[in-house]
Amino acid sequence: MDINFATKQKAIIITRMTIRTIMIVWVLVFSGGSQAAENTDALPSPPPPENIGAGQIILKTLPSPVQNLLQYALNQDGVSYRKGGTSPEVGFDCSGFVRYVFDHIEGVTLPHSAHALSQIGNRIKVTELLPGDLVFFRFMRNTISHVGIYLGNDQFIHASSTRTGSVMVSNLTDSYWAKHFTLARRLDMPAEQVSNISESLPASASLRLESESRSLTNN
CA 47 to chain centre: 16
- Sorted by sequence, the CB contacts under 8 Å of residue 166 that are 6+ apart come out as 77, 78, 79, 80, 81, 159, 160
Using CA atoms in the order 193, 194, 195, 198, what is the torsion angle rounded to 10 degrees?
Answer: 120
Count of other CB atoms within 10 angstroms of residue 50: 7
How far apart, in whole angstroms, are the C-alpha atoms of residue 49 and residue 65? 29
Q: What DSSP assignment string belongs to 99-156?
A: HHHHHHHT-----S-HHHHTTSSEEE-GGG--TT-EEEEE-SSSSEEEEEEEEETTEE
Measured in whole angstroms, the distance separating CA 66 from the mean position of its chain's CA atoms is 17
Contact criterion met (CB below 8 Å) for 109 and 120:
no
Q: Which residues have a catalytic role annotated?
A: 94, 146, 158
Max CA-CA distance within the chain?
Answer: 116
Sign of CA dihedral 118, 107, 205, 147: negative
